[in-house]
Structures are given as C-alpha cells and as structure tokens.
Structure 1
Amino acid sequence: MSSYNYSTRKIKEKAFLFIVAFLTFTMFIPLFHIFLTVFIRGFPVLAENGTKFITGTFQDGGIGPAILGTLMLVVLASLLGLPVALLVGIYAYEYPRSSIGKITKALLQIMLEFPTILVGIFVMQILVVPMGSYSALAGALALAIIMMPYIAVYTTEALRQIPFTYREAAFGMGLTRIKVVFRILIPMAKRGILTGVLIGIAKVAGETAPLLFTAGGAYQTYYQGITKPVGAIPLLIYQLIQSPSNEYHEIAWGASLVLLMIFLALFIPVRLSLKEVKL
C-alpha cells in the first residue's frame, strides 16, 4: 500500500512539473512570436537599405531623426525623472507609516496604472499650449512622469529586501540616516533599483500616446533643441501604419526592429553585468 502511495505521489509530482513547464513555455510564446515576426519583417528592410535607413532622414528613406529623437527623449526624461523617483522611493521606504509616506505609496500605485495618454494631455496643457509649439522638453516631461513610479516602486521594494540588521549595524557605528541610506543600503540594493530604472526606460522608450500631444514629430531634420519638435521611433511607427502605402508599412517594420534592438542593447548587457549582492 505504501509503495502504491509513493508511486502515485511521484506520478502527481511529475504531472505537476510538466504542467508548470508547459504553462511557462506557453506564457513566453507571444514574446517569441513578437521577436520573430519583427525580425522576419524588419530585417529585409535594414538589409536592403543599409546604413541609409539608420542615418538618413525620412525624405531619404531613413529614420535617423527618429532614432536620435528617441535617444534624446529617453536621456532627457531620465535626467528629469530619475533623481525625483529615487528620492520618492527612498522616502516611501524610510517613512512607510507616516501620512505622507502612505499617500505617496498609494499615489505611486495609481500612477503605475494611470492612462499615459492623459499624461500627454496634461503636459500639453501646462507646457505645449503656453509655449505655442510641440517640443522635446514637453515630450521628455511626459515620459519622465510615466517613468517615475516604476523607478520609485522598485527602489522601495529593493531597499525592503535588505535585512534590517545591516541598518542597525550602520547606526551602531555612528552613521547618520543619510549616510546609512546612500552609503550602505543603496549600494546593496543597486541590482533591484537598476532593474526598475531599466523597466522605466523600456516603458517610456516604447510610448506613443503621450508623444502625440507633446513631441510633435520631426523626421526631415535632426534634433534641433529641447524647445523644438522632435521625432521618436514609436510615434513614427504609429504614423506610418495609418497610411495604406505598403512602402510606409515596410519602413514601420524596419523601425520596429531598430526599436527592439535598442531596447535589447540597453537592457541585456547592463542586466547581466550586475552582480547580485549576497546577504
């Protein structure tokens, strides 16, 4: 009887592991399908046009201004949003039971699910309308607002994973709260924090809706300053697929592959180069 029960448990265990493995594989099928489809449809466009597609303006059949515009928007958004997000995440960790801390955590959760198109409308009203034109600054501000909650939440959660004993030991050595946070806790939580930064960057790098109301799009000329309209790859893709032209659709597939390559080039090396801190 015991042998029968043992065999039954082994069968159930193997069946459970098989189901889990199958569901895990199924979960990644859409991701693999996206990668494969973008590569199959986009690679011939890049191979046919070569560097002209990467460096040329739209008039010349290239997406150079859109690539540079995306990079500039991400950099500007990071400069605007990263310092604020880190400080907000640290505050939410340091004062979780204070009134402001509780409100901050609640607002961060709301901002994570907030429709990004509404962020674009908000920035349009406070910046684009007063300035009288679209601009890289308006686009970067919209993307910074979208980026900040991801970085702040990951910062808070990364700091929470550090055992409290390290904090107590640092205080026992006479360090101030600021030194404990920035010299002890932040370096130990850098893997989790940088993960949040990468997710935030990946999120805004592919955003389209807020840029419709802020960036404007400029594909015949390269980046001309933060007060001028700027192009972006996601925005260009959106505009191209609205056209019935097959040529425009091919350019959109090539731009999609470039956007995917930029994301992988940023995410994978940085993520793999981080050494996990053993606690």
Structure 2
Amino acid sequence: MLREVKEKLFLCGIAIMTALTVLPLFHIIYSVAARGLPVLLRGGLEFLIGTLAPPGDGLGGIGPAILGTFILTFLASLIGLPIAVMTGVYAAEYPESILGRLTRTLLTIMMEFPTILVGLFVMQILVIPIGSYSAIAGALALAIVMMPYVAVYTEEAFRNVPFMYREAAFGLGLTRFKVVFRVLAGMAKKGIVTGMLIGMAKVAGETAPLLFTAGGANRIYFAGVDRPIGAIPLLIYNLVQQPYENYHEIAWGASLVLLLIFLAIFLPLRLSLKEVKL
C-alpha cells in the first residue's frame, strides 16, 4: 500500500514538473499570438511587404526585415553548415585524438559563449576594415553562432549509430569516406537535420550579433551583401525602445511573424523525418 502511494506521488510530481517546464513556452506562444494577431490582421498584406511607418503614424510594414531574416539565415547556413557538419563528423570519427578532444571542448565552450562577443569579433575583423555594416558580416556572425549546435548534434548522431554497422561496412571493403557518408550518414540523418534546424532557428532569432554587424536597414529592401540589412529580431529590439505606441504594436506583429516563420520551417521538416530503425 505504501509503495503504491509513493509511486502515485512520484508520478504526480513528474507530471507537475513537466507542466511547469512547458508552461513558459505555451505562455510565450499565447502572449505573442494574442498581442500580435490583431496587428497582423489589421495590417494585412501591407504589413508583410511594406516598409516601416513614421513614428506615431500607422503600422506600415516589416517587409525588409522579413526578407533580411531569410537572407541572413540562408547566408549563415551556406557558410556554417558544411563546416559544422564536417567538424561533427571529425569529432565522432577521431574521438580519442588530441584534435578530436580539443574540438569537443571548444564546441562546448562555443555553445555557451555570449553571442554579443561574436558580434564584436566580427565587427573588429570585417565591419571596421570595410567601414560599413553589411549582410555578409551579419551572416558570418550568425554562422559562428550556428556551428557549435550543428556540430554537436552531428557528432552525437554519428556516435549513436551502433558500432557493428561500421564494422560491417569496413568488412565489405568500403573506404572510410564511403562508410561515413554513405552508410552512417543515412542512419544519423535525423539527428543531423535536427541539429541543422536548431542551429537555423537559433540564428533566425538572434539579435546581439547583428547589433554590431548587420546595421538594421529596416526601411529599404536588400541592396547587396556589402550593404546594411534588416532583420526581424533587430527590428523588434529597436522598436520596443521607442516611445511610440504604433512601434510597440509593430513589434508585437513582428514577433508573431518570427514565431510563425520558425514553426513553419521547423515543425514540418522535423515531423517528416522518419527515424531509422536499427
């Protein structure tokens, strides 16, 4: 009898802890939807493709910021994903080497590294020499932020593949390259893609690195990789500091758009990936 009571108390405790864990997430989603949806409905298509309204005068639109977020995420992925995946593969294939151990340590440090310092670093090596904010500087900063997440997930995905499959592939006479990229990569695909999505979602919502690199051109559309560029997180950061009510409304609408972009990219791809049965 006492054991049953303890078991029920334990299960109740787990349920309560789980609810407390996910409650902030649902509260954030509800708050953004409740405050942002009326703005989005009132602004209509103009809110998605137009440019920012003057202070205290209507909504206008956040079109340049939306396009800028997609461009920065694409460029950051183009720069960071190949490097991150290869880094994760190396760390998984050579775990006992000095370079492999050093790589894992550095990846762990980079995951906890303040992203604002990444922005300062890129500003020093790229923005100041060029003399201007630019899309490529923002993309480089975001790529540096993205890489450790993708690399760690890639390493874990490869390490979770049972060793017997590696042995069997080598037993068939395959080279290490074919074993890694034709056999193991297919089995580890779900973990690798999950890491990519998490990395992309991470940088799509980053603000701090862009403060010193992108420039935040929110009233003009993309003019080139060497020119300043807008982004939704940067726009939200700038708007909430203004004393104008219409800018606060635009910030809520932009927050909802950013949330919808994240959910539209992450959920379908994540749910469509079929787990490899080992």
TM-score (norm 1): 0.97
Tell me the equivalent position of 2:201: 202
Report the secondary structure of 1:58's partner residue. Answer: coil
| Per-residue deviation, 1:224 | 1.2
| Per-residue deviation, 1:62 | 0.2
Tell me the equivalent position of 2:126: 127
- Residue type of the alignment partner of 2:7: E
Deviations 1:195-229 (A, max 9, x none): 11111011101100110000001111111111110
| Per-residue deviation, 1:133 | 0.4
| Per-residue deviation, 1:9 | 1.2
Tell me the equivalent position of 2:56: none
Tell me the equivalent position of 2:258: 259
C-alpha distance in 1 between matches for 2:15 and 2:141: 40
- Residue type of the alignment partner of 1:112: M
Tell me the equivalent position of 2:241: 242
Please show how residues 163-182 of structure 1 align to structure 2 within 5 Å.
163-182=162-181
| Per-residue deviation, 1:40 | 0.4
| Per-residue deviation, 1:118 | 0.4
Report the secondary structure of 1:50's partner residue. Answer: helix
Tell me the equivalent position of 1:31: 25
Question: Do residues 53 (structure 1) and 47 (structure 2) align?
Answer: yes
Tell me the equivalent position of 1:11: 5
| Per-residue deviation, 1:8 | 1.5
Specify every segment of 5 or more residues in structure 1 that has no aligned partner in the other structure, as ranges.
1-6
| Per-residue deviation, 1:131 | 0.8
Question: Do residues 22 (structure 1) and 16 (structure 2) align?
Answer: yes
| Per-residue deviation, 1:12 | 1.1
Please show how residues 143-222 of structure 1 align to structure 2 within 5 Å.
143-222=142-221
Deviations 1:119-172 (A, max 9, x none): 000000111111110000000000000000000000000111100000000000
- Residue type of the alignment partner of 1:170: A
In terms of mean alpha carbon deviation, does 177-186 or 215-224 score higher? 215-224
C-alpha distance in 2 between matches for 1:166 and 1:49: 55
Aligned length: 273
Deviations 1:221-272 (A, max 9, x none): 1111111100000000000011111111000000000000000000000000
In terms of mean alpha carbon deviation, does 53-62 or 164-173 score higher? 53-62
| Per-residue deviation, 1:58 | 1.1
Please show how residues 98-113 of structure 1 align to structure 2 within 5 Å.
98-113=97-112
Tell me the equivalent position of 1:139: 138
C-alpha distance in 1 between matches for 2:224 and 2:165: 46
| Per-residue deviation, 1:57 | 1.0
- Residue type of the alignment partner of 1:44: P
In terms of mean alpha carbon deviation, does 55-64 or 134-143 score higher? 55-64
Question: Percentage identity across aligned positions?
Answer: 67
Question: Do residues 81 (structure 1) and 75 (structure 2) align?
Answer: no
RMSD: 0.7
